[in-house]
A and B are shown apart, each in its own frame.
Chain A
Amino acid sequence: MSNPVSALPEAEFKGIATVSEAGLRGMITVRGNFASKSFAKTLKSVAGCTIPDARKINAGSDGRMLAWMSPDELLLVTDYASVEADLTALLSGFGDEHTMAVNVSDARAVFSIAGAGARETIAKVAPVDMSATDFGDGDFRRTRFAQVPAAFWKSGEDVFTVVCFRSVAQYMFDLLSVASQEGSEVGVF
């Protein structure tokens, strides 16, 4: 096996926020019945957290995150190196129950938007209320960034993590670079 390579290694842009490609993350699409106790139990044992409410993301064990994608879909975020083990654990935990768990780590690109202008940068491309009162720790949105699907959450003070499809990583980087261009502060958040 050769070294896995992310979509835009080292890409970075500095404007009113710093936009950088964040390398490969482990991601598993999980689908199932949220009301099922065994389903929740398996997730708890693998992710280390409960199933998040709608439009939320929960922090789990060893940096794992569990995000709400739809009423029957979750996204487990984990270390890239842990994906196979986590996937195996999920599948064995689910057993015969009607569920789905699929590795989608390579289908994605991950970006970090950091700095005082991070909220504004996102508000320029995503139809989301980015005010601090409306979007904070534990919030998660599966939405669009301009013309492509994207999901994001707050991953630190003035830091946000954005996930999109790998094929549009260049578009996403260009888009966030334009949105965070020098001199484009809005000054409202």
Chain B
Amino acid sequence: MSTRLSTGGRLLDKSKAVEFKFNGKRLKGYEGDTLASALLANNQMMVARSFKYHRPRGVVASGAEEPNALFNMGKGNKFEPNQRATTTELFDGLSANSQNHWPSLEFDIGAINAYLARFLPAGFYYKMFMYPRAFWKHVYEPFIRQSAGLGKAPDAETKDGDTYEHFYFNADVMVVGGGVAGLQAAKTAAASGKKVLLVEQTSAWGGRAAVDGGMVDGKPVADWMDATIAELEAMENVTLRTRMMASGVYDHGYVLGYERLNDHQPEALGPRHRLWRIRAGHIVTATGAIERPLSFAGNDVPGVLLAAAVRDYAVNWGVSIGDRTVVVTNNDDAYRTAITLKEIGLEVPAIIDARASGGGALADKARAMGIRVENGKAVVKVKGKTRVEGVAIGLQAGEGAILETIKCEAVAMSGGWSPVVHLWSHCGGKLNWIEEDQHFRPDPSRAPTGDTGQAFVTTAGISSGAMGLAEVLEDATNAGALASGINAPAAPSADARDEAPMEAVWLMPQGANIKLKMKAWLDYQNDVKVSDVQLAAREGYESVEHTKRYTTLGMATDQGKLSNINGLAILSDALDQPIPQTGTTTFRPPYTPISMGSIAGEARGATFQPIRRTPMQDWHDARTPFYEPVGHWRRAYCYDRPGETHGDAVEREINQTRNSLGLLDASTLGKLIVKGPDAGKFLDMLYTNMMSSLKPGKCRYGLMCSENGFLSDDGVVARIDEDTFLCHTTTGGAERIHAHMEEWLQTEWWDWKVYVANVTEQFAQVAVVGPNSRKVLEKLGGMDVSKESLGFMEWADGKIGGFDCRVYRISFSGELSYEIAVPASQGAAFWEALMSAGEEFNVMPYGTEALHVMRAEKGFIMIGDETDGTVIPQDLGLHWALSKKKDDYLGKRAQTRSHMADPNRWKLVGLETEDGSVLPDGAYATADGQNENGQRNVQGRVTSTYYSPTLMRGIAMGLVHLGPDRMGEVIEFPKIDGKIIKAKIVDPVFYDKEGEKQNV
């Protein structure tokens, strides 16, 4: 059984006991524990069920590479699935539950899959779920959904209770990894005086050397590290962060740093995670290496751990995995585990070394300590189901004959070390295969490159493939110097690597039969075995990327940190080609999964999206209107009163406006000032109409098209003076049209003398509409708004009720109407003044729906309703707005293309239903026959449709084939319920065709 030792545990504070819950059980640990070390200290060897076969699984690693120990963590609004126990710091009150089993971890129905393993080979999903087709929806999909996934999805209705944030930071040199290499690289770079950022993903500095020891400059490495950290902390130009992982490296030295602020103290104030968005001049990755498992039968039984993890648990957390640990290895490093365990008084029954020639100096030391060492041997299989009971030993060169069985509680395995090359590779760094250490190593001559072709990532220490302490320090010194542009100083002195060569061992024993291979796991998290990869190769998979997807090797949340190299080695062997020819799969960010919350940052709740507010928005809010989004604004659709439906409110607002007086908050409409000697020429190009001929004091409605001829925006242009125009745009169009103007001025007509300014928000604008609108303005007084002084389509500056105003006599409703702009800071007061002056006329605000209905009654088009990016002005009968006098305007040439000039295009007409009902929006008019796809032919569609309270019937506009030539004809619009509405083609102007009402 695994237990806490009475001594050891350099990361623990044993004076601070911590209580936590696992599957409802109360357990104890210490501050400094990870959840994994605390579970092991409580003899919780089995921690999960595997994904596919539901096999019992235990902790296998001690760091970010852990594939098995994933938990549902927390409760309620702090619940999160798939949290890795080895990187979860223990805190008082932590609550974790194991995943992927039913009904319990100890007794799991799904484990029956293990007996069906023969029938669940690689590519099973692809092979099985194809046929019969109908089974997918009704049988397969529900079954897969039920059994898929590791952790539980968080409750859909519960909002994350934490906050998150981003943080922008710049550094000359960023060093990733707080082990010996990172510390030395940072120290070297910092001496240059440049700004250095050093990050470490765990809560403690030190990395591997803190456990494995050694001497640096004649002192124990731990002392050297303490001194170096103190030195760095004292430097102004150095920033040190623990609990911060560099999750990805991107172009131009951009790095995402994932800082876990409160995971270990969930009740603390402040954000839970902070996502650093770092711009670094040069990046040094001192990310160490990950130990590889060995592939033997039963290498997934709880109690089989990576050799280095076994000594991590002993040294860092004072945890013994078992009294008796068998070490199995193909390299010298694993001997350190045996020596460490022996030194603290635990038993190592044997070291099984696959190499016939055995190990070097470390092996000699182990033997001298009395440990039995067996060279050329292999673990044939592990005994035990839910925990290790022993190992069967055979010849590595053999096929699995058992020579002897050794009883033990733990197996420490080491298949060699793979440098962590993820960050190096994210931005294109290339790798070399190194025979000597059987791993991929960064090739410094093929580094990720920046804007001038310079390398902007350098590796340091073990992640460069420097495998001894002296080599690490030397390499890190050089990396720090290179990154900061100085000459490398002398590296601290340390012991050089003194190890016998490792041996490639991809399967143990090398001739293992199929039965053994079906129990030799490569990818623990996705349950991929040696036999699966070999099957894929037999079925013709040659590309490592294809094999990955076919077998799911390396596709789990650990992204193949343990399985990648072992898998591609098996594939290479099966394909009979060297490993570098097979290559690796692609390393992509993030290095380990980061929270969705950190990606969203502050963008949630009130700050999810900017909502734009007009100067009168508080007034609107107080009436709780029904809002609709228009761009980023919220505009009142209608101001419904108690007991009213939206329809009732719209009808009331229209009747009031048409009969007396209504107010519209029109502040959202875009207002662009265009000024300069060439302003008229410029607007003649932008609008289809002639704008240069407009007289100061006058307004003109204009259309804008894209260079492809399609309608893009519309609005009223007012000429302010000889050089200055004010262009109104649609609400959603202000920023877009401003950018459109700037683009043409900056890229095409850069020599035209025109400046544009967006003054949309400088003004609050109110449409004062209805037969009594003049009366209310005259009542407020201050300027002459009579027909004689201010005619239709004119504007004037003046004062109304003491407010500085610019008054436009324009009408989108067909009524007598004034649009009045006042400075935004006075908008709310002006609105209130109009409301109280209008009381005698029963004044009401009206919303966007009333606006829409009234414009439709008048046959005015709306950008976005009558247009959809495929409609040209000619389709809408707007020929009058297309200047014939101009040589050119944006869109003119495009509108002469054959398809654009085709008389068969659908054109705008009014539609009047025979029964007076309202046509469904977007409904199609059917025509005879069917098209080549067997669909009913169509001859038109509805673009706007409303109930008109003025006409007391449904009205609509639509685009109809040859529409204007078919006045009076009745066409049919089938509804979704199959019923057909008949509508007559009519003129689109339903109300006051002569325009008498607006021109009074």
How would residues 163 to 207 of chain B score, 1 for a CB under 8 Å from any chain A CB and 0 otherwise?
Answer: 101111110000000000000000000000001000000000000
Within 8 A of A (CB), among B836-873: none
Task: Name the A residues within 8 Å of B753 (CB-CB).
Answer: 98
Q: Decide if B761 touches A165 in the complex (CB within 8 Å).
A: yes
Is B239 within 8 A of A168, CB to CB?
A: no
Contact of B602 among A130, A167, A178 (CB under 8 A): A178
Q: Given the complex, which residues of B lie within 8 Å of A103, measured CB to CB?
A: 762
Q: In the complex, A146 Cα to B610 Cα: how many Å?
A: 9
Instruction: Give A111 Cβ to nearest chain B Cβ, in Å.
Output: 14
Answer whether residue B824 sits at the interface, using C-beta atoms and an 8 A cutoff: yes
CB contacts (< 8 Å) of A34 on chain B: these are none
Instruction: State in angstroms the CA–CA spacing of A107 and B830 once bound together.
Output: 17
Q: In angstroms, how far is the closest chain B Cβ from the Cβ of A187?
A: 9
**Contact code string A1-28 (vs B, CB < 8 Å = 1, else 0):** 1111111000000000000000010000
Chain A residues within an 8 Å CB radius of B615: 7, 166
Stretch of B264-272, B348-356, B962-970 on the interface side: B264-272
Indicate if the CB atoms of B168 and A129 lie closer than 8 Å: yes
CB contact under 8 A between A106 and B763, given known A170-B613, A179-B165, A184-B270 = yes
- Which residues of chain B are within 8 angstroms of A179 by Cβ–Cβ distance? 165, 602
Q: Which of A134, A165, A188 contacts B239 (CB 8 A)?
A: A188
**Alpha-carbon separation in the docked complex, A182 to B165 (Å):** 13
Task: Determine if A126 is an interface residue (Cβ-Cβ < 8 Å).
Answer: yes
CB contact between B829 and one of A2, A102, A165 (< 8 Å): that residue: A2
Report if A183-B607 is in contact (Cβ < 8 Å); known contacts: A100-B675, A188-B169.
no
Residues of B within 8 A of A134 (CB): 170
Q: Mark A153-189, 1 if CB is under 8 A from B, else 0.
A: 0000000000001111111001100110111111010
A104 touches B165 (CB 8 A): no
In angstroms, Cα B168 to Cα A131, docked, is 10
Q: A100-B755, A167-B614 are in contact. Are A106 and B602 (CB under 8 A)?
A: no
A167 touches B613 (CB 8 A): yes
CB-CB < 8 A to B633: which residues of A?
167
Minimum distance in angstroms from A72 CB to a CB of chain B:
8
Please measure, in the bound complex, the distance between the C-alpha atom of A171 and the C-alpha atom of B169, giving whole angstroms: 23
Asked whether, in the complex, the Cβ of A123 is within 8 Å of the Cβ of B762, the reply is: no
Which residues in chain B, 589-638, are within 8 Å of chain A measured between CB atoms? 601-603, 606-607, 609-615, 633
In the bound complex, residues from chain B placing their C-beta under 8 Å from that of A44 are none
A2–B802 CB distance below 8 A = yes
A147 within 8 A of B: yes
Determine whether A54 belongs to the interface, using a CB cutoff of 8 Å to chain B.
Answer: no
A47 to B34, CA, bound (A): 62
Cα–Cα, bound, A108→B277 (Å): 28
* B163, B168, B673 — most chain A CB neighbours (10 Å): B168
Q: Collect the chain A residues with CB atoms within 8 Å of residue B799's CB.
A: 1
- Which residues of A lie under 8 Å from residue B279 when comparing CB positions? 129
Judge whether B803 is part of the interface by a CB distance below 8 angstroms.
Answer: yes
A126 engages B824 (CB within 8 Å): no
Asked if B81 is at the interface (CB within 8 A of a chain A CB), the reply is no
Q: Quick one: which of A31, A131, A168, A181 contacts B270, CB cutoff 8 A?
A: A181
A1-B826 CB under 8 A given contacts A184-B165, A184-B271:
yes
Given B268, B677, B826, which contacts A2 in the complex, CB threshold below 8 Å? B826
Residues of B within 8 A of A128 (CB): 168
- Distance, CA A96 to CA B603, complexed state (A): 47
B823 adjacent to chain A (CB < 8 Å): yes
Within 8 A of A (CB), among B480-509: none
- The yes or no answer to B110 lying at the interface (CB within 8 A) is no
Q: At the interface, yes or no: B760 with Cβ under 8 Å from chain A?
A: yes
Interface size for B (C-beta < 8 A) is 53
From A188, which residue of chain B is reached at the shortest CB distance? B239
Cα distance, A148 to B608, chains bound together (Å): 12
Contacts of A124 in B (CB 8 A): 165-168, 602
B4 within 8 A of A: no
| Distance between B186 CB and nearest chain A CB, rounded to angstroms | 15
Query: Which one of B602, B610, B615, B830 has the greatest number of beta carbons of chain A within 10 Å?
Result: B610
Candidates B676, B757, B762, B802; contact of A106 at CB < 8 Å? B762
- Asked if B610 and A147 make an inter-chain contact with CB atoms under 8 angstroms apart, the answer reads yes
Q: Which residues of A contact B786 (CB under 8 A)?
A: none
Q: Is B739 an interface residue (CB 8 A)?
A: no
* B677 and A106 within 8 A (CB): no
Q: Which residues of B contact A29 (CB under 8 A)?
A: 757
* Interfacial chain A residues near B673, Cβ < 8 Å: 100, 102
Q: Is the CB of A174 within 8 A of B606?
A: yes
- Enumerate B937-985 residues with CB–CB distance to A below 8 Å: none
For A8, the closest partner residue in chain B by CB is B613
Q: Hey, which chain B residues are within 8 Å of A104, CB to CB? A: 757, 759, 762
Distance (whole angstroms) from the CB of A67 to the closest CB of chain B: 15
Known pairs A179-B165, A184-B165; A146 contacts B170 (CB<8 A):
no
Shortest distance between the CB of A59 and any CB in chain B (Å): 24
Please tell me if the beta carbons of A182 and B269 are within 8 angstroms of each other in the complex. Answer: yes
B826–A125 contact, CB under 8 A?
Answer: no
Q: Separation in Å of the B928 CB from the closest CB of chain A? A: 51
Asked if B577 is at the interface of the complex by the 8 Å CB criterion, the answer is no
Quick one: closest B residue to A170, CB to CB?
Answer: B613
Determine if B170 and A4 form an interchain contact, defined as CB atoms under 8 angstroms apart: no
Q: Are B269 and A183 closer than 8 Å at their CB atoms?
A: yes
Verify B167–A123 contact, CB threshold 8 A.
Answer: yes
Interface set, chain A 96-138, CB cutoff 8 A to B: 98-100, 102-108, 120, 123-131, 134
Query: What are 5 A-B residue pairs whose CB atoms fall within 8 Å in the complex?
Result: A1-B802, A2-B833, A107-B824, A129-B170, A167-B614
Given contacts A98-B753, A105-B823, A183-B269, 13 further A-B contacts (CB under 8 A): A1-B803, A4-B823, A100-B757, A102-B757, A106-B761, A106-B763, A106-B823, A170-B611, A174-B606, A178-B607, A179-B165, A179-B602, A183-B270
Question: What residues of chain A have their CB less than 8 Å away from a CB belonging to chain B?
Answer: 1-7, 24, 29, 31, 72, 98-100, 102-108, 120, 123-131, 134, 146-148, 165-171, 174-175, 178-179, 181-186, 188
4 residue pairs, one from A and one from B, having the closest CB atoms: A183-B269, A183-B270, A4-B825, A167-B612
